[in-house]
Amino acid sequence: MAKILMKGNEAIAEAAIRAGCDCFFGYPITPQNEVPEYMAKHMPKTGGVFVQAESEVAAINMVYGAAGAGFRVMTSTSSPGMALKQEGISYLVGAELPSVIVNISRGGPGLGSIQPSQSDYFQVTRGGGNGDYRIVVFAPSSIQEAVDLTIKSFDIADYYRNPVILLGDGMIGQMMEPVEFNLSGKTNLPKKDWATTGTNGERKPNIINSLALASEDLERHNYKLQKKYDEMEEKEVMHETYKMDDAEIVLVAYGTTSRITKNAIDSLRENGIKAGLIRPITLWPFPNKAFEEIPKTAKSILVVEMSMGQMIDDVKIANEGRLPIHFYGRAGGMIPSPEEIANKAKEIVGGAK
């Protein structure tokens, strides 16, 4: 199939439609507006549902309704809107409803800015909703990867009966790259016999619910959910390594930042510094194993983020105290240059004057 040039947000929307997304509910917020706009234009053509909700709170609860009815559902937003969705996300997990939530994030806190940022790492991996819960979080670094992971998100959501988050920074949403759409063809997904479609007088009522008043019942439910999280940790971890074999300094970056970091690594190697990259593709579950496999040549780790340092906490957990960890970050929509990153790496390995 020929590749077509598409903007990230539109490519994610098209990928969702191809993955069989039946309903989209959203609320305008920059820099993700092209997602609902694309959906408004194209969903009606395939008999899909598009509703512009009155708020992100309403949008995520519409997701809860349509997902409970057994359909493939997506919503998208950006950081402050993601904050409003937390209540609904917690309910989706509690009631075990599959859904895909896209966060094309921007700078914060508060209204922040509309520029690309990675300051929502805690929000997506730790959750702002209540209760013991986990969600698979994909962080694509190219538009093609965003497309592939969007399609995969629907399958994973259905398989686990759990929401999935796709986190792109504003750069992923706004830039254009050639893409192709390859469907997963996954057919062994469980039947949604729990969905509320009307009993037709032929079965007992189906109930979509996250309430369990008796402590024993809720604990049992928590154990059941935990089993799913354990399986996700076992099966769904994704990461990429780049020039790691002989690396003396290991850079860790995801999303847009990882692309810039690769450039920095190439220029470091031209200057005789053996640098390598670990790029988490799932932010949760975090690729802890990749850190166990860091070669003996490595002397230090440099975490690069467009934030004041959030993923660094997970790197510290994964590193288990083995190597010294350094940090380089820009915030507020400022994007680090390859030179800045390379200079920081040089400083660490002792090459900077």
Partner 1 sequence: MSLLFEPTKGMTDKSMHYCPGCTHGIIHRLVGEVLVELGVLGKSIGVAPVGCAVLAYDYFNCDMHEAAHGRAPAVATGIKRILPDNVVFTYQGDGDLASIGAAEIVHAAHRGENFTTIFVNNAIYGMTGGQMAPTTLIGQKATTSPYGRDKATTGMPLKISEMLATIDGAVFVERVTVHNVAGIRKTKKAIKKAFQVQLDGKGFGIVEILSTCPTGWGQTPVESLSWLENNMIPYYPLGNFRAPEEAK
Of 196, 222, 241, 267, the one binding partner 1 by CB under 8 A: 196
- Check binding of 49 to partner 1 (CB under 8 A): yes
For helices 79-94 and 56-68, what crossing angle results, to 10°? Answer: 30
The region of 85-93, 106-114, 143-151, 235-243 touching partner 1 under the rule CB under 8 A is: 85-93
The reply on whether position 91 binds partner 1 by CB under 8 A is: yes
86 binds partner 1 (CB under 8 A): no
Q: How far apart are CA 171 and CA 243, in angstroms?
A: 25
Q: Is 69 in the site for partner 1 (CB under 8 A)?
A: yes
Q: Which residues of 262-273 are buried (b: 16+ CB within 10 A; e: fewer)?
A: bebbebbbeeeb
Please report which helix (H) or strand (E) contains residue 89, including its range.
helix 79-94
Span of 12-20, 144-152, 196-204, 342-350 interacting with partner 1 by CB under 8 A: 196-204
336, 257 in Cβ contact below 8 A?
yes
Cα(57)–Cα(257) distance, rounded to whole angstroms? 30
Q: Which of 201, 272, 321, 350 binds partner 1 (CB under 8 A)?
A: 201
The residue range among 21-29, 294-302, 307-315, 334-342 that interacts with partner 1, by the rule CB under 8 A, is 21-29
Nearest one of 147, 105, 109, 142 to 1, comparing CA atoms: 147
Measured from the CB of residue 199, what is the shortest distance to partner 1 in angstroms?
5
Interface with partner 1 (CB under 8 A), residue from 4, 111, 211, 352: 211
Q: How many CB atoms lie within 10 A of CB 168?
A: 31
Nearer to partner 1 by Cβ, of 24 and 291: the residue is 24
55 sits near partner 1 (criterion: CB under 8 A): yes
Q: Is 40 in the site for partner 1 (CB under 8 A)?
A: no
Pick the piece of the chain touching partner 1 (CB under 8 A) from 52-60, 156-164, 273-281, 336-344.
52-60
Write phi, then psi, for 350 (nearest 5 degrees).
90, 15
58 — phi, psi (to 5°)? -65, -40
Helix (H, G, I), strand (E, B) or coil at 160: helix
Q: How many residues bind partner 1 (CB under 8 A)?
A: 40
Residue with Cβ nearer partner 1 (197 or 226): 197
Compare residues 3 and 220 and give the one whose CB is closer to partner 1. 220
* d(C-alpha 162, C-alpha 159), whole Å: 8
Q: Answer for the pair 49, 21: CB distance below 8 angstroms, yes or no.
A: no
The residues binding partner 1 (CB under 8 A) are: 22-23, 25, 49, 51, 53-55, 57-59, 61-69, 71, 73, 87-88, 91, 95, 196-202, 205-211
